[in-house]
Amino acid sequence: MRGFLKREGKYKLFAILLLTFLIPVGCVQGQLSKDEGEYKNGVVVCAYPDAAQVGLNILKKGGNAVDAAVAVQFALAVTLPEAGNIGGGGFMVYRSGKGETNTLDFREKAPAMAGPNMYLDSAGNVIPGMSLSTHLASGVPGSVDGMVQAHLKYGHLKWEDLVQPAIDLARNGFMITKHLANDLNRTQAEFKKLNEGKIYMIRDTPWKEGDLLVQEDLAKTLEQIRDKGRAGFYEGVVADELVAEMQRGKGLISKTDLQNYHAVWRQALIGNYKEYRIITMPPPSSGGVALLQLLQTVEKYPLSRWGFNRDSTVQLVVEAERRVYADRSKYLGDPDFYKVPVDSLLKPAYNLSRMSNFSWDKATPSVSILPGKFVGYESDQTTHYSIVDRDGNAVSITTTLNGGFGSKIFVKGAGFLLNNEMDDFSSKPGVPNMFGLVGGKANSIQPGKRMLSSMTPTIIEKDGKLFMIVGTPGGSTIITSVFQTILNVIEFNQNMQQAVNSKRFHHQWLPDVVYVEKDALDGDDRLKLEQKGYKIIDSGPSGRVDAILKTKSGYYEGGADPRGDDTKLGW
């Protein structure tokens, strides 16, 4: 996942990872420009135009939102190699047109041979880079099994019809955008350094906008998945190639790990904000719990009266984020391995009590904020897409390789990238991961365990009807980007595209810094906050929110983030 922060050392490790996408001109104060449109029969919003077209075509052929989501997932694996994937994992939040809800956890898992000290040297110190750019960085992929399970439960069209568009894109090639060309050029040296023998996406001259990217080996892998479903990836020739790659680089994923991997259906995490019902992802996502905590914390305050990104609004949101991320560091992890105190974290009285030491006069130092205590408690690159169909079935999916292009290691012969999701575990209590997030026992490495994630795919209802579908990539900034986008619509009366465009800010407890996008705050508001002790640092773009809003007229309005190549298509 892409995010603001990148590890370099202990707390010095926080260089700002600025999402490398150019921002279109035509900005107004606090917003980026993007066109608007409303649609009746369905909308697809995702991170790459070719993938969005694939999803829309599926909807027009009579497919439902899940059918379109499966097709988009595989299309993004071809067209968005830095984040779209078959070698990663993710989460899906689903709401049927009749209001039924479900979530699918297809997050990666630690291999059976993984252990809590696997990234530590003999002195107990974290070995730099081992959890990021080696074969040991990869968890067992979940994306293919996730798509298979989603299709089996909710799909309508034939499986092969959903995978074929991605095969066509891989074999015939597609014209790359300027953003993707820049990303590929930036990564050439690392691809060469980390891969021996056959290397993909390498060329002697720089990539440029409009170049054709052909991926024949990936097309062959997708054909195996098209023809054999789950077995086409977790067994047979593709599994052999993946395990051979592991053996080349002394990685840990085995055939047994692949055979034992299964996505898990989990009950949706549901909460309320005023008259809105929030349907979001439970652990091992930290995002759903954190989002509901944040909404509970700010609910009683008059945000709409204060205004969008004004000093009081920013101060309150930063202080809420500070406390919620502190809780995240201790209490969130894989519920199959650790007793996550979800009920305690989501008690409104608890979240209000966390603000008892908040003062309007000055910033609360993060060193004075510890994770909360409960009675009886036992001790970004990512991509998102939102889809709704003509029947109102809605899907919110966030999926990831973790870092941009994952570990940057390709599976030879299979043509896809390995994730570096193992970095999302706590390599050592108190030591930050690549996004600057710290953790402890709840997120320690154990065989078969799913690593904690910030991914926050979310669906919102109003008056029992679909209201919004929202999510974003962005590493540790995912939670705050989703949170602020929701507030932009509900509190500040922005339409969907405006809410997505609006400039964002981020605080995550440690480091004790407020990161703000350029022009997110006006000069007076920034000065007031700095005089209260807030350390504010300008950053690059935060997240790439893709969202859909049901308008008062009953139509669907998409919001595609102009920070990247994100595209909204509807009919």
Within 13 Å, how many C-alpha atoms sit on residue 228's CB side?
16
For strands 15-16 and 5-6, give the pairing. antiparallel
Q: Are 335 and 284 in contact (CB under 8 A)?
A: yes
Work out the number of other CB atoms within 10 angstroms of the CB of residue 117.
11
Tell me which residue of 463, 127, 484 sits closest to 317, measured CA to CA.
484
Q: Are 414 and 217 in contact (CB under 8 A)?
A: yes
What's the CA gap between 48 and 178, in Å, rounded?
A: 12
187, 364, 382, 398: the catalytic one is: 382
Specify whether 382 is catalytic: yes
What's the angle, vertex CA 529, arms to CA 526 and CA 531, rounded to 5?
110
What's the CA gap between 43 and 394, in Å, rounded?
A: 10
Tell me which residue of 102, 384, 385 sits closest to 270, measured CA to CA.
102
DSSP class of residue 426 equals: B
Q: Region of 415 please: left (phi>0), alpha (psi -120 to 50) or beta.
A: left
And the tokens for 253? Answer: 């994923």
What's the CA gap between 330 and 76, in Å, rounded?
A: 34
And the tokens for 291? Answer: 């989002």
What's the CA gap between 231 and 233, in Å, rounded?
A: 5
DSSP class of residue 31 equals: B
Q: Region of 348 please: left (phi>0), alpha (psi -120 to 50) or beta.
A: alpha
Tokens 């669906």 correspond to 459
H helix runs in 207-254, sequence order: 216-228, 231-234, 236-248
Q: Are 459 and 550 in contact (CB under 8 A)?
A: no
What's the CA gap between 554 and 566, in Å, rounded?
A: 24
**DSSP letter string, 268-323:** PEEEEETTEEEEEPPTTBSHHHHHHHHHHHHTTS-HHHH-TT-HHHHHHHHHHHHH
Work out the number of other CB atoms within 10 angstroms of the CB of residue 224.
21
Q: Are 465 and 96 in contact (CB under 8 A)?
A: no
Work out the number of other CB atoms within 10 angstroms of the CB of residue 137.
25
SS3 call for 169? helix
What's the CA gap between 484 and 505, in Å, rounded?
A: 9
R_g of the chain, CA atoms, integer Å: 22
And the tokens for 228? Answer: 């054999």
Tokens 């990564």 correspond to 187
And the tokens for 333? Answer: 């992890």
Tokens 């409104």 correspond to 348
DSSP class of residue 285 equals: B
Quick check: bond before 348 cis, omega within 30? Answer: no
Q: Which residues are catalytic?
A: 382
